[in-house]
Amino acid sequence: MIILDTKKDYKNHIDILKFNGEIISLVPTMGNLHDGHLSLVKIAKKNSSKVITTIFVNPLQFGKNEDFASYPRTMNQDISKLKQLNCDILFAPKTKNEVFNNIDNLKNLEAGPKGNILCGKIRPGHFDGVLKVIYMLFQLTQPDLSVFGLKDFQQLYLIKRMAKMYFPKLKIISAPTIRTKNGLALSSRNSYLDKKSMKIAPVFYKILLDGVINLKNSNDVEKTVNYIKTNLEKNSFLVNYVSFLTTKLEKIKLNTPDKKILLSSVKLGQTRLIDNVEFS
């Protein structure tokens, strides 16, 4: 695996890959790689001839009081995991200038109203920061395809919309959420959970699954949202939001063939968890 940490070296390698007619896939991450991330690399591997993974803890997507400084950084372990999967290139920019030296050009790139609901409401500016880094990585790499996880459904939706507009030839692949045996969605932030919280955390997904069944039986969105919130609170979760929407992040209409989704974010102690369940 070739490891690069400057924009200049990265660009040179991309030029060679392009010249050789490779099909390039890009897997952007913030590192502390777990089996969820690795599943994206495996999907990329199956669908392209060269896989590039990026590791960059993007300061623009963290709020002032968030965990940018303490976000887990485990570069050596990450490198071994990527090598085992035969990832071709790792781009791990050594400073934020390697990614954002033209940041002023991006000042109009904003996530808009659908970036201000759900996670965007509790993390103002978060998705503007996400779109900026992903835009820069797409622009630098000009990949043929890029893989993102359905766990971060709102992020995936906004990236797909941005890509359609600015990188129309780029294919975005949505990857299923990888979970522990008892249903907890893998996340780098799970490492913040202590033993007791690790036992409670899987209940989050179980409550969401039960919520979808409840909606199907009751046909009453408001009642079901309250039912889910009560269940979450009973199990020590502090609710950030519980929301039933269409998969276009629009108001849900029951008894239609639209694809629907239940999205939720909670806090368990100081740790934020997000998850979702798609249904029709």
Q: Does 29 bind ligand AMP (CB under 6 A)?
A: yes
| φ and ψ at residue 267, rounded to 5 degrees | -115, 135
Q: Angle at which helices 153-166 and 126-141 pack, to 10 degrees? A: 50
Q: In Å, how far from its chain's centre is CA 23?
A: 23
Of 141 and 187, the one with the shorter C-beta distance to ligand AMP is 187
User: Residue 21 burial by CB count (10 A; 0-12/13-18/19+): exposed, middle or buried?
Assistant: exposed
Q: Which range binds ligand AMP by CB under 6 A, 83-91, 106-114, 172-180, 209-217?
A: 172-180
**Contact status, residue 262 vs residue 270, Cβ threshold 8 Å:** no
Stretch that binds ligand AMP, among 5-13, 34-42, 113-121, 254-262 (CB under 6 A): 34-42
Based on CB atoms, which residue is closest to ligand AMP, 44 or 175? 175
Annotation marks residue 37 as catalytic: yes
> Which segment (184-192, 235-243, 244-252, 272-280) binds ligand AMP by CB under 6 A?
184-192
From the CA atom positions of the chain, what is the Rg in Å?
A: 19
Q: Which amino acid is at 175?
A: A
Contact between 151 and ligand AMP per CB under 6 A: yes
Written as one string, the DSSP assignment of 152-166 is GHHHHHHHHHHHHHH
Q: How many residues of this chain bind ligand AMP (CB under 6 A)? A: 17
* Contact call for residue 126 and ligand AMP (CB under 6 A): no
CB 89 within 8 A of CB 55: no
Q: How many CA atoms lie within 13 A of 124 on its CB side?
A: 2
Contact status: 185 vs ligand AMP (CB under 6 A): yes
Q: Could you say whether residue 37 binds ligand AMP (CB under 6 A)?
A: yes
Q: Does residue 99 belong to the site contacting ligand AMP (CB under 6 A)?
A: no
**Looking at 82, 152, 163, 277, which residue binds ligand AMP (CB under 6 A)?**
152
In contact, 174 and 47? CB cutoff 8 Å:
no
Tell me how far apart the alpha carbons of residues 12 and 4 are, in angstroms, rounded to a whole number. Answer: 10
DSSP summary character for residue 182: T
Task: Kindly tell me which residue out of 1, 122, 170, 178 binds ligand AMP, with binding defined by CB under 6 A.
Answer: 178
Residue 159 CB, shortest distance to ligand AMP, in Å, is 8
Q: Does 177 bind ligand AMP (CB under 6 A)?
A: yes
Catalytic residues: 37
Residues found near ligand AMP in the complex (CB under 6 A): 29-30, 36-37, 39-40, 148-149, 151-152, 175, 177-178, 185-188
